[in-house]
Chains A and B, each alone.
Chain A
């Protein structure tokens, strides 16, 4: 359990830390890779005793599972090992790049996703991890997105693999629906028509991810990314996902599916081998070679011996990654990967070239190097299968072509001017040398590995090794001594074009997808414009309404003000006209009354006498009548 967590969490946390901090990316990356490797080793040891499981909460009735059987633990170990040493190499390769942090962070996130895919115990987890590695591949291929052609290559790769992922979705949902559970081991018990259909769907998915014909072109375009990316993703891990898928579901696949897988793999092996031979760029040659090798693995699966495919996968991981690392060193020297540019680069770095040569010979199938044993197993499987008449010639042709293009590569690298002395590249050398050692020596561990996985390969007789050796040496010789133009003859031009048919994947997949996307974008723009227009109209209408309301309010307040003014004026007028008039009138009347009253004060005695008499009379009356009333 702890190793399981360590395997997944170490790269995840270091990747997130690098992306967050953007400091000391190499140290954090190496720390994360080392811890992940420790976790994977521990996990392998634990899994060889018994299956290690972890259940995580997921969808209702479909929890996420991580399961470490010997098979998945081995794959996890492979991923962790290659990742660790490629990251060591990348420390030197990306030394001068200003965006190292982004690179290392994304690489570690990819490693996490790959481990998640490899250790997935249920289809939902696998699907999620599948998507994640595709996305990480997109980010990493397009790492130098400022350069011409890189962005389109990344988009192309993403779209091709994405279109093939449809097969995985359909297959997975079919399996879940039929089996009733999302656990992979549970779904492997299906038989009959659903198994066949599901198998074909899964084959489509594998074709996409593992760059099988007709979807092989994206892998070559993916070489636009940095070399460590090519070494990790596009040789050992991401392209292995397709093969891993088929290996894990092999118990379920019925004969028809197996036959289809084998045919597809064989055709790929041959066609991409021819393309590799015609290639003029080293990395693209190696990419085509990768597709070819995976074709051979599919042949083995199709022949019914998935263990052979697994062994070849492990061997190929070490071999191809070391080949890419070597190519990266030469690219570093010559600032380019074209075979013309790299002519003679091997001479300047004998050590690196030695490693490259060892890996190349291993790939060609020279004993006692690793791929000899796995290639023999594949040929033996093809020989022993029921579809031998189809599979065997394809497998043999593929093997021959392997040797041929590797020989050619070796020749180009060796023949030519050495150029000036080169600065030593310690990190790159260390990373590469470990993988070369693995490439050389893994073959001897295959016996123990078979024992751990519980699947023994029947030891073939002497004929298969002889055939294998013959095709390997023969191929190398052909490649060394003869130019591709002579070997391919009329097939040279089509091979150089990648055998495009009817516009190829561009016309079938890429352009339709992009035009649909453009149409959707235009529709959305119109929708947005309509929405904005609506909102604007509504807003303006509302604003106008509010403005009118405000105007009314304003008029109303003005009216109130006028009423107040009128009230004030009325009050003032009342004050001046009524109250003042009343008061002054009162004053006037009082004055008039006083003027009239003044006349009483005539000063004339007789008048005053008369008044006195009248007053006396009044007093008498009052005095006489008052007692009656009071």
Chain B
């Protein structure tokens, strides 16, 4: 059992690392959102692994999973809404050109 936990967690860790790399390295907003999706997926895997192997009697863990899924959806929605607005005003969603907040 413990080894399975380790495996699941390891997979989650790897997905987290990949997602982080992607979120930081991509120029396109959509790709960044995809990276964030991967991170959140990693978090989900970890949560479920913890629920399954450490606290199976606790439904609150699954509740948490639901919440994260909801957050994923909301984040994608708002993100794409912003992307549309940006695309309309600029013509692209490349992050390299987004210097309006420069201080």
Contact = CB atoms under 8 A, between A and B. Distances in A.
Direct contact of A and B (CB under 8 A): yes
A602 B99 CA distance: 7
B4 interface: no
Contact of B101 (A601, A606, A609): A601
A610 B24 CA distance: 6
A613 B24 contact: yes
Nearest to A601: B103
Contacts of A606: 24-27, 32, 95
B100 A603 contact: yes
Nearest to A610: B24
Interface string A572-603: 00000000000000000000000000101111
B96 A604 contact: yes
A603 B98 contact: yes
Contact residues on B (Cβ < 8 Å of other chain), bracket: 10 to 19
Interface in A240-279: none
Contact of B99 (A600, A603, A609): A603
A601 B32 contact: no
A603 B23 contact: no
A605 interface: yes
Q: Number of contact residues on A: which range applies?
A: 10 to 19
A421 to B, nearest CB: 147
A605 B98 contact: yes
B44 interface: no
Contacts of B102: 601-604
B20 interface: yes
Interface string A595-626: 00010111111100110010000000000000
A43 B78 CA distance: 157
A158 B20 CA distance: 145
B24 A598 contact: no
Contacts of B95: 604-606
Interface string A207-220: 00000000000000
Interface string B5-35: 0000000000000001001111101001000
A600 B103 CA distance: 8
Query: Which of the listed residues B20, B96, B100, B103 has the most CB atoms from chain A within 10 Å of its own CB?
Result: B103
B98 A604 contact: yes
Contacts of B26: 606
B10 to A, nearest CB: 19
B103 A598 contact: yes
Interface centre among A602, A603, A606, A613, by most chain B C-beta atoms within 10 angstroms, is A606
A603 B101 CA distance: 4
A602 B96 CA distance: 10
A602 B102 CA distance: 5
Nearest to A597: B103
Given A604-B98, A605-B32, 17 more contacts: A598-B103, A600-B103, A602-B99, A602-B102, A602-B103, A603-B100, A603-B102, A604-B95, A604-B96, A604-B99, A605-B95, A605-B98, A606-B27, A606-B95, A610-B24, A613-B20, A613-B23
Interface of B: 20, 23-27, 29, 32, 95-96, 98-103
28 contacts: A600-B103, A601-B101, A601-B102, A601-B103, A602-B99, A602-B103, A603-B98, A603-B99, A603-B100, A603-B101, A603-B103, A604-B95, A604-B96, A604-B99, A604-B102, A605-B29, A605-B32, A605-B98, A606-B24, A606-B27, A606-B32, A609-B23, A609-B24, A609-B32, A610-B24, A613-B20, A613-B23, A613-B24
